[in-house]
Amino acid sequence: MQTKKKGPILSIHNLNVWYGDNQILDSLSFEVQPRQITALIGPANCGKSTLVRCFNRLNDFTPNFRFNGEILFNGKDMYKKKTDVTAIRKKIGMVFRKPEPFRCSIYENVAYGARIAGINQASQLDAVVQKSLQRSGLWDEVEPILHGNPEQLSIGQQQRLCIARALTVEPEILIFDEPCGELDPIETVKIENLMRDLRNDFTLIFVTNKRRQAARVSDSAGFLYCGELIEFGSTEKIFTNPQDTRTEQYVTGRLG
Amino acid sequence: MAIFSMTRPELRKKIALQGIAFIIVGAAFIFLWNTLKKTQAANIQTPSSSRISGTLPSLLSDLNLILPISLLAVLFGVAFAFYLEEWLPTTSKVRSFIESQVAFFVEIPSLLYGLLAITVLFSYADVSKEIGTPPIQNINEAGLAAIPLQHNIAMFYAETLVFIFMVIPVAIKTTQEALRSVATPIRESAYVLGANHWQVLANRVVPLALPRILAGGCRAISRSLAVAALLIGVHIPGTRGIPDRFMLFLGGALLLSTISSFLIEIYVPATARHG
């Protein structure tokens, strides 16, 4: 488990991102504090996903991706040459909007991360799988069908399976890219409670376009609009006393 | 694809069902084999009175000629497609060049490649002189035709040319399409767990793409068999050189296939990219 650090775990300085000639993000700067839930809110197509995909270098696969600026992870520039990208991705996990279980059993889905990390003994794998599933609150539901097909699970359960899968590699930061975008309200509540539990052990970055959800769950929040970070601060401040008129309009529902 | 999403009982059931199908097909094959053996040379006339005739030796000769090199060609094509699709960036000029060439060669009918091969055979080994008395008269102990060395070399050239231009492009194209069929989220959800490129390929992409890759390989090999069928047709006793009508046909077909492959190259990728 990660030791508590005083400084920010992730700091972004003057980040610019282009796809070809199209500028997606325009000089963003903010800091993510450890063991907190940081929400990034904003309307669709404002660059939220592009931003979080910069944090684990998933944008490297996007053709025409250009990057300018600095992202420090634990004080180290993660875009420096000779950076071990897979090591960074192990430390910074991610859960996508649409749950995408691998086409193998539930057990193998969860065990895959551990296998990649080099754990191959059956007893160790069993322990890791059980721990991750318990943490994501899925153990009681899937224990009898552990070697069954994940497609028989509901979409909310599949999403929690994906969270369990991300937990096996013991990341420091866990990015949730609109995890409730496809879920019904009951499953959404389960995921939100799960995120509150996970805050004790992980740093969470949470992308959403639902204002109320961000207000319920997060500790600090940033409002993105058309590629610019309009405002960043504690959730309370953003939602009760915003400095920028656009933020006020967005959180009160008059914009976006 | 479905085999990887199955649980064990489902898999067992599937294997049992396929076992039944396998037995039925096997029985049909044995029946067919016996019937073919009985027909002997009644319908299939070899050019001269040779000591052996019938389906089996011809079949074995065909397979002996085609299988080893076509397996090699398919392996090479698959490996090359992996390199193109997984290691060369989409913006690479080399990649777009090779892809357009491949698209061209895939469109050309296999018939033309057979004629290409026969041209090489005629010009390098002068097979035409011996067409009345083909080398099939010299039979070795294995029952296969012993082919003179000079012909062997010419055949090697002919085969190599045919396979470079015919089998490898098909293998490349189908493998690339198989790799593209694996959705990006599946790759990404493995990458975010810290898997490297090789692990993602070996654990996630190849198991899903394998059925399509194998189907593509079969398609490529069956294309080479089609050429063999053509060679039998052109191998008319007493003919010297390639008949004029074949040359005429070759020209016309080449023109048509060029036009069609250009049309496909222009329209299909454009719509596929935006789709």
| pLDDT band, residue A15 (cuts 50/70/90) | very high
Determine the average pLDDT of the residues in B7-24. Answer: 66
Would you state the pLDDT for residue A202? 92
Per-residue pLDDT reduced to its tens digit, A19-69: 988 899 988 899 999 999 999 998 888 889 999 999 999 988 888 888 899
Would you state the pLDDT for residue B106? 82
Q: Which of A89, A105, A117 sits opposite B7 (nearest CB)?
A: A105
B120, pLDDT greater than 70: no
- CA A109-A62-A47 angle, 5° bins: 90
- CA A103-A108-A114 angle, 5° bins: 125
Would you state the pLDDT for residue B44? 38
Choice among A146-160, B106-120, B243-257, B261-275 with the minimum mean pLDDT:
B261-275
Longest dimension (CA), chain B: 69
Helix or strand run (H / E) with residue B208? helix B206-234
For A52, which residue in chain B has the nearest alpha carbon?
Answer: B192
Higher pLDDT, A4 or B239: A4
d(Cα B192, Cα A168) in Å, to the nearest integer?
12
Distance from CA of B221 to the nearest CA of A (A): 30
Q: What is the DSSP letter of A3?
A: P
For A151, which residue in chain B has the nearest alpha carbon?
Answer: B5
B178, pLDDT greater than 70: yes
B91/A100 Cβ within 8 A: no
Determine the average pLDDT of the residues in B150-157. Answer: 63
Distance from CA of B90 to the nearest CA of A (A): 7
| pLDDT band, residue A164 (cuts 50/70/90) | very high
| pLDDT band, residue B58 (cuts 50/70/90) | low
Per-residue pLDDT reduced to its tens digit, B207-248: 888 888 888 888 887 777 776 666 555 444 444 444 555 555
Higher pLDDT, B28 or B101: B101
Choice among A28-32, B143-147, B195-199, B251-255 with the minimum mean pLDDT:
B143-147
A191, pLDDT greater than 70: yes
- Look up residue A249 and give its two tokens: 């309009």
Distance from CA of B191 to the nearest CA of A (A): 7
Would you state the pLDDT for residue B8? 66
Higher pLDDT, B217 or B149: B217
> Helix count (H) and strand count (E) of chain B?
10, 0
Q: Which of A89, A103, A104 sits opposite B192 (nearest CB)?
A: A89
A139, pLDDT greater than 90: yes
| pLDDT band, residue B28 (cuts 50/70/90) | low
Helix or strand run (H / E) with residue A27? strand A22-32
Would you state the pLDDT for residue A119? 87
Choice among A28-32, B3-7, B221-225, B259-263 with the minimum mean pLDDT:
B3-7
Distance from CA of B225 to the nearest CA of A (A): 36
Q: Which residues contact B125 (CB under 8 A, 6 or more apart)?
A: B150, B151, B153, B154, B155
| Averaged confidence pLDDT in chain A | 89
Higher pLDDT, A120 or B272: A120
Q: Looking at the complex, does the CB of residue B271 fall below 8 Å from at least one CB of chain A?
A: no
Determine the average pLDDT of the residues in A137-163. Answer: 92
Q: What is the DSSP letter of B196?
A: -
B121, pLDDT greater than 80: no
All structural domains of chain A, each given as residue ranges with its CATH number in brackets, are 10-97+171-251 (3.40.50.300)
A154, pLDDT greater than 60: yes
B151, pLDDT greater than 90: no
Determine the average pLDDT of the residues in B87-102. Answer: 83
* Domain range list for chain B: 1-39, 54-274
Q: Is this complex scored with an ipTM above 0.85?
A: yes
Would you state the pLDDT for residue B270? 42
Choice among B80-94, B183-197, B251-265 with the minimum mean pLDDT:
B251-265
B8 contacts in A (CB within 8 Å)? Answer: 147
Would you state the pLDDT for residue A81? 84
B133, pLDDT greater than 50: no
Q: What is the DSSP letter of B71?
A: H
Higher pLDDT, B150 or B160: B160
Helices A155-167 and A106-116 cross at an angle (nearest 10°) of 20
Q: Which residues contact B95 (CB under 8 A, 6 or more apart)?
A: B84, B88, B89
* CATH topology classification for B54-274: MetI-like fold (1.10.3720)
Among residues of chain A, what percentage have pLDDT more than 70? 97
| pLDDT band, residue B114 (cuts 50/70/90) | low
Q: Which of B6, B192, B199 sits opposite A56 (nearest CB)?
A: B192
Would you state the pLDDT for residue A222? 92
Choice among A77-86, A223-232, B217-226 with the minimum mean pLDDT:
B217-226
Q: Which residues contact B267 (CB under 8 A, 6 or more apart)?
A: none
Q: Which of A64, A96, A166 sits opposite B193 (nearest CB)?
A: A166
B199, pLDDT greater than 70: yes
Determine the average pLDDT of the residues in A122-148. Answer: 92
